Amino acid sequence: MKAEHLLPRLLRNPRPAILALADGSIFRGYAAGTPARVQGEVVFNTAMTGYQEMLTDPSYHGQILCLTTSHVGQVGVNSLDAESDRIWPRALIVQDLDVEPSSWRSEENFEGWLEDRKVTVGWGFDVRSIVRRLRENGAVPGVLIAEGEMNSELALRESREACGTDGCDLASEVACSESYRWSDGPWRSPSHHATDNDAALPVVVIDLGVKRSTLRRLVAEGFSVEVVPPTTTAAEVLNRKPSGILFSNGPGDPAAVTRVRTLAEELLGRLPILGICLGHQILGLALGGRTEKLPFGHHGGNHPVRELATGRVLITAQNHNYAVDEASLPREVEVTHINLIDATVEGIALPRLAFEAVQFHPEAAPGPNDAAGLFSRFFDRCREATR
């Protein structure tokens, strides 16, 4: 057998690729997946596992995702780990792309899965250098060129014309257009508050890009879950007679999601409310606060957050570029959690309105389960309100 046949298929005839950032940086590597020229805001995620969950998380809509873990694709993909029906990042950047899965759970080859969904993948890039640049200069728009002429000057020009997420209501592009019910629990199920479906508490989820893991956690806690579009009115939500309301995670600039902010203002104080990530930011705006863009955001599964009431430190999963400005919040709003890396607000509450919101993802997927108790606390508040 010739030595060239012993090489992985991607190395036999590699296609060149260029990643250009709007700050003037150029990085070279190779391409897989669909040949294309892809623009988006470039962000990095530091999680070591969970690439399928990240790629199917609607919060990445409008972005080019760079993964810091060395090997991506080694466990393939499967139907259980998908957080939605499609891939949301506009492109993927990795150091090493494994084309042969090695896992009993794998149902499909990772590269083939990406190719079938027409996703462009940059591999063989120096992701460490990319991440250092983003940490120094912040998340910036960029372009991944994986077709045609590999011209650095042209790539830089296109990167300067690329758009970020500022001022963009991306939640409306990822949310459902019609309401639906969700009844599946986690495939590795935590303890339930209720196992009898007749005893389940009804909850309405305002879909801003909700992850399936969030819906599964709600079912596991004992909720009967209905997901509704962000265009749903307050009257339509209340007519469903839910025991509580959840504003979900999602992508984009929270200040641009004005319709949902109005919805939150109208629902605050009517029922127990839980907000997650974008939902947290929108609820902060509804209370009169402001949001600000972080230099390069929080994306990963190892962010330490202090729960101020107990002093406990939670290791959390996060995926966001914006945060609530603490100084802008009314005095009566309680800050419940802070980020121990940069001291940004990670949670807020207003007990008289039965309201709580967190910036991190308590459902994890991928990430640790330190914060999963927030769903139990939400269930308890909803059950108490129905008595």
pLDDT tens readout for residues 50-97:
999 999 999 999 999 999 998 899 999 999 999 999 999 999 999 999
Residues 292 and 365 in one domain: yes
Residues 196 and 318 placed together within one structural domain of the fold: yes
Domain boundary among 131, 161, 191: 161
Three-state DSSP at 95 gives: coil
Report which DSSP code applies to 200. Answer: P
Looking at the fold, whether 278 and 362 belong to one and the same domain comes out as yes
Lowest mean pLDDT among 144-153, 187-196, 213-222, 298-307: 187-196
Structural domain contains residue 166: no
pLDDT at 264 over 60: yes
Instruction: Check residue 19 and give its pLDDT.
Output: 96
For residue 230, pLDDT over 60 is answered with yes
pLDDT score recorded for residue 1: 39
Quote the CA–CA distance of 317 and 299 in Å, as a whole number.
8
Of 41, 53, 307, 363, catalytic: 363
- 213 and 81, same domain (yes or no): no
* 191: Cβ contacts below 8 Å, ≥ 6 apart: 220
Confirm whether 24 is domain-assigned.
Answer: yes
- 180 with 235, same domain: the answer is yes
Alpha-carbon distance of 91 to 89, in angstroms, equals: 5
Q: What angle do CA 378, 193, 58 make, to 5 degrees?
A: 50
Q: Which of 161, 181, 210 is the last residue of a domain?
A: 161
Q: Is 20 part of a structural domain of the chain? A: yes
So what's the pLDDT on residue 278?
98
Name the pLDDT band for 8 (thresholds 50, 70, 90): low
Based on the fold, state whether residues 104 and 195 are members of the same structural domain: no
Q: How many domains does the chain have?
A: 2
- Whether this model's pTM surpasses 0.75: yes
Do 304 and 327 sit in the same domain of this protein? yes
Q: Which of 53, 346, 361, 382 is catalytic?
A: 361
Q: What average pLDDT does the segment 225-242 reach?
A: 97
**How confident is residue 197, by pLDDT bands cut at 50, 70 and 90?**
low
Residues 224 and 346 in one domain: yes
Q: Can 299 be counted among the known catalytic residues?
A: no
Which of 161, 182, 204 is at the close of a domain? 161
pLDDT at residue 191 is higher than 70:
no
Query: Does 322 reside within a domain?
Result: yes
d(CA 176, CA 58): 11
pLDDT, tens only, 163-180:
889 999 999 999 999 999
Q: Are residues 176 and 150 both part of a single domain?
A: no
Q: Which of 277, 298, 307, 320 is catalytic?
A: 277
Between 148 and 297, the more confident residue is 297
Q: Which CATH number does the domain housing residue 339 bear? A: 3.40.50.880
Question: What is the 8-class DSSP label of residue 366?
Answer: S
* pLDDT > 90 fraction of the chain, expressed in percent and rounded: 81
Q: Are 225 and 215 in contact (CB under 8 A)?
A: yes
Indicate whether 379 belongs to any domain.
Answer: yes
Place of tokens 């045609």: 148
From residue 175, alpha-carbon distances to 42, 231, 325 in Å are: 22, 10, 26
In this prediction, residue 198 has a pLDDT band, given cuts at 50, 70 and 90, of low
User: Is 361 tagged catalytic?
Assistant: yes
Q: What are phi and psi of 216, to 5 degrees?
A: -65, -40
The answer to whether residue 259 is domain-embedded is yes
Would 273 be classed as within a structural domain?
A: yes
Clarify whether 277 is annotated catalytic. Answer: yes
pLDDT confidence band for 322 (50 / 70 / 90):
very high
**Count of Cβ atoms closer than 10 Å to residue 265 Cβ:** 16
Shared-domain flag, residues 193 and 142: no
Q: Looking at the structure, do residues 147 and 216 belong to the same domain, yes or no?
A: no
Give the CATH number, domain containing residue 150: 3.50.30.20
Do 324 and 364 lie in a common domain?
yes
pLDDT at 218 over 70: yes
Query: Given a cut of 60, is residue 253 above it in pLDDT?
Result: yes
pLDDT at 6 over 50: no
pLDDT digit string, tens, across residues 376-385: 999 999 999 8
More confidently predicted of 245 and 100: 245
Report yes or no on 123 lying in a domain. Answer: yes
User: What range does the domain containing 128 cover?
Assistant: 3-161
